[in-house]
Amino acid sequence: MDFDKLLNFWGHHLVMAGVWIALALSLNLINGFTGLFSLGHQGFWGVGAYVTAVVLTVLPAEMGWADAGMLSFLMTFPLAMLVAALFGLIVGVPCLRMRGDYLAIATLGFGEIFRNIAINSEWLGTSQGLSVPNVFRAFLQEQIGLERMAARRAEMFFYIALSWAVALLTLLLLRNLMRSAHGRAITAIRDDETAAELLGVNLTRYKVLVFVLGAALAGLAGAVYANYQRYVSPNQFGFMQGVIFLVIVVMGGMGSFSGTILAALLIYAVPVFLTFAPDTWVIPIFYDPTQGGVVHRSLKDLWQVFFSLMLIIVVLLRPQGLMGNREFSLVKLWRRLFGKKSESASTSGEAGA
């Protein structure tokens, strides 16, 4: 098969998988590690993406600047983080006073307000969205002097590296944070908010910190996404998209980094691989005379149905997520599969008193 076709197909999915991992990890900080239940993460992601579009498209046009250059491109990342963090603050501060399910609904409300404002703002391109110029490729072609084909390949490799670097950065940052006094305070809040406060943990400070940091990291992922996709529109950041990230966090385990990464990869990859299923692999699913009798659907179509069913089943069988708050480790897996009984008991974390 043609190298460029392969690169385009797999490259795209690699970039997106990296973005998903970064988003799921930052959502896990809020929902999993801290136990705040946010349904608005897609909003922070969207803010980051829109900041990118505004910096590269709207501002140059409105202000009559020259076309966005490499400097603007590089600025989109910190700016997206900064503005998203600001939104995290705006959402986080009032939401502190709410608990559990009320918080969930309020963050959902914030996410929808953001989308609604984008839809109604001429400046933000209404429901049509905004396109983002391909600054990086222009740079490769004009400044570096690459040919068109070479520039396209280089661009794809760049975005694969960038999105996975952002995912890695998110992982390291959150992992280090969680392995410190701050991480212990955050876990304590999740386990027992009142007891944590009585041990001197400042609830306000940590909840705001978690919202701001989670939002900033989602904003960074948004900047990567907007620059790569070169298009932002309100529908990309809808409630349903947020639910997918939430499902990743739930399935991966509220408070497990490796679980989140595995779940993000799995949930991203399954529908991609299902597109390879032959067209003849269809399942009769419904009888509807208004659609001409028996309705057939492919496996890829049914993935969404299966996915939501899986969410229900996981929640029913393992409310703490597939991994719980444990981390996946090949060594432990090896011991568990092939080790002696006593060893596997001691690694299961259930050491008795």
> In the range 66-105, which residues lie near other proteins by CB under 8 A?
94, 97-102, 104-105
Q: How far apart are CA 228 and CA 19, in angstroms?
A: 10
Cβ distance to other proteins smaller for residue 98 or 270: 98
- 3 state DSSP class of 38: coil
As a 3-state breakdown, the chain gives helix, strand, coil percent values, each rounded to 5, of 75, 5, 20
Residue 56 interacting with other proteins (CB under 8 A): no
End-to-end CA, the chain: 60
Rg (CA), the chain: 22
Task: Rule CB under 8 A: choose which of 7, 58, 302, 345 binds other proteins.
Answer: 302
Listed ranges 20-28, 202-210, 265-273, 331-339: which one lies at the site for other proteins (CB under 8 A): 202-210
Per CB under 8 A, 198 contacts other proteins: yes
294 is a site residue for other proteins (CB under 8 A): no
Site string for other proteins, 246-275 (x = CB under 8 A): x---x----x--------------------
173: its two tokens: 């940052």
Binding test (CB under 8 A) with other proteins, winner from 63, 66, 149, 290: 290
44: nearest Cα among 240, 237, 263:
237
142 is an interface residue for other proteins by CB under 8 A: no
Q: Rule CB under 8 A: say whether 181 interacts with other proteins.
A: yes
From residue 90, give the alpha-carbon distance in Å to each of 45, 48, 110, 135: 15, 15, 10, 31
The yes or no reply on residue 281 touching other proteins (CB under 8 A) is no
Q: Does 327 bind other proteins (CB under 8 A)?
A: no
Instruction: Show the tokens assigned to 92.
Output: 């986080």
Which of 23, 13, 15 shows the shortest CA–CA distance to 45?
23
The residue (of 204 and 275) whose beta carbon lies closer to other proteins is 204
| One residue of 113, 161, 266, 333 binding other proteins per CB under 8 A | 113
37 lies in the binding site for other proteins (CB under 8 A):
yes
Q: Say which amino acid occupies 290.
A: T
| 63 versus 198: smaller Cβ distance to other proteins | 198
Please check whether residue 277 is in contact with residue 298, taking contact to mean a CB–CB distance below 8 angstroms: yes
Number of residues interacting with other proteins: please give it, by CB under 8 A. 79
